[in-house]
Amino acid sequence: MPLDEQTVEEIYRDHAPALRRFAVGFTASRAQAEDVVQETILRTWQQAPKITTSMRSYLFRTARNVIIDNFRRQQRRPHQVHSADVEQVSVAVENVDRLLTKVLMEEALARLSVDHRNVIIALHYRRYTAVEAAVQLSVPVGTVKSRAFYALKALRSVLDEMGVEA
Amino acid sequence: MSEEPTEHARLHHLVGAYVLGGIELNERHLFEQHLDTCTQCLEELSSLQNLPKLLDAVSLEDTLALVSPGNAGVPAFGNPGDETGTGPLMRKLSKRRRNSRRRSAAFVSGAAALFLAVGYLTGSAAQVPVKPELNFTISTASGPQIQLGLIRKAWGTELALEGNGLPEQGVLSLWIKDRSGRYDRAASWNATALGRADVVGATPMAIQEMLDIEIRDGGGKTIAIMSPGTQNQAS
């Protein structure tokens, strides 16, 4: 059964800006990006899935499929198919998937506490040792190690809820 | 040799720093030795070890933007005030709803005509069978005989299974393996005394994502495999 109109409007208000920013990277204009956003929400409305993961990650996956479908439609030539066209499609799919992963990971990281995010930044992104991170974060070394453990557990939990598998 | 609980608790928490790469060398050796004897830590490591690769999808700059004082905890993408309004979307929605109703009405009237022509007068229900997109048949001399049809749906794939010669005890199940190795259970049913089955399963997986389809017995043992991914079948 399709979603009701109020739910659709809520989805649009809550998620359209983020979807638009995702789509604009793969479309020629803001108007086309808006078309992707609307098509994404319409597909979600039509299929009215029982969403067990987060709505946003579901919408982003749907937007990814809309972008790829559009690209394939543009590449289709009725009289002939070149191997270059197939390669272009797979490159486009790769690019879309890469950005989708980025967007989903940004959302997952945003859901972590500041302490958990900071320890991940210190150890993973800045490549500090636990001792160096303790100095930077002004906490004991044991706290850094403990927070690293719980930060990754929390990140894994958020990703599981979003339906992102490593 | 069993670990003292307090020592295990201390070493167990090193898994986070170990995965993120911030562990000192001597502690790394200690933790890796601990992994040789601790399945719990090994499982924990297994569930976390691919997270650094996912973290690499986001740059340091973008991650720092997530923690900036102005928007701590708020996703750093999209300007909430940047909207084109819901008007165009709702007009498209209304149009699709009208088109959907027209298609439903055409289907209902067509199905009703077929219903009357085929079975209504005799009191039996008539259904227009949907032709499966993919069919498998397994036929063995002393083992199971299975027919499986895959039908593409908007939500995934429907699997229609008919079988004979199946195990007569336990709970049988139908599993789908995708190309990345993940499994989804599409159906499970109680075995019958005659070893027959006529079940319909469902999976969100699309046909093109499927590598193998397995039928398993009550003990989890695979008794038949069909391979949409390679168009082969074996049991």
Q: Tell whether domain B5-65 is in CATH 1.10.10.1320.
A: yes
Q: Do the Cβ atoms of B60 and A121 come within 8 Å? A: yes
State the Cα–Cα distance between residues B13 and A145, nearest whole angstrom.
7
What single-letter amino acid sits at A118?
N
Which residue shows structure tokens 């009208």? B98
Residue-wise pLDDT tens digits, B83-94: 557 788 888 888
* Disruptive mutation site among A38, A46, A162 for chain B (greatest number of B CBs within 10 Å): A38
pLDDT at residue number B194: 80
Question: What integer is the mean pLDDT of B116-142?
Answer: 63
Contact at 8 Å (CB) between B166 and B144? yes
pLDDT at residue number A26: 85
Q: At the top level of CATH, which class does the domain B134-234 belong to? A: mainly beta
* Band (A64; pLDDT cuts 50, 70, 90): very high
Q: Do the Cβ atoms of B84 and A34 come within 8 Å? A: yes
pLDDT at residue number A50: 61
Residue-wise pLDDT tens digits, A15-44: 898 899 889 888 888 889 999 999 999 988
What is the percent of chain A with per-residue pLDDT over 90, rounded to a whole number?
38
Fold classification of A111-166 is Arc Repressor Mutant, subunit A (1.10.10)
- Report the b/e string of B198-210 with b at 16+ CB within 10 A: eeebbbebebebb
* Band (B104; pLDDT cuts 50, 70, 90): low
Q: Do the Cβ atoms of A124 and B55 come within 8 Å? A: yes
Give me the residues of A, 71-110, that contact B with CB < 8 A.
Answer: 98, 101-103, 105-107, 109-110
State the Cα–Cα distance between residues B104 and B206, nearest whole angstrom.
24
Residue-wise pLDDT tens digits, B217-234: 888 888 888 888 765 444
Residue-wise pLDDT tens digits, A102-125: 888 988 998 899 999 999 999 999
What is the percent of chain A with per-residue pLDDT over 70, rounded to a whole number?
86
Q: Tell me the nearest-neighbour CA distance from B146 into chain A, angstroms.
A: 31
State the Cα–Cα distance between residues A61 and B217, nearest whole angstrom.
34
* Phi, psi for A94 (deg, rounded to 5): -60, -45
- Token pair, residue A18, equals 């983020």
> End-to-end CA distance of chain B, in Å?
43
Q: Report yes or no: A12 at the B interface, CB cutoff 8 Å.
A: yes
Break chain B into its structural domains and give their ranges: 5-65, 134-234
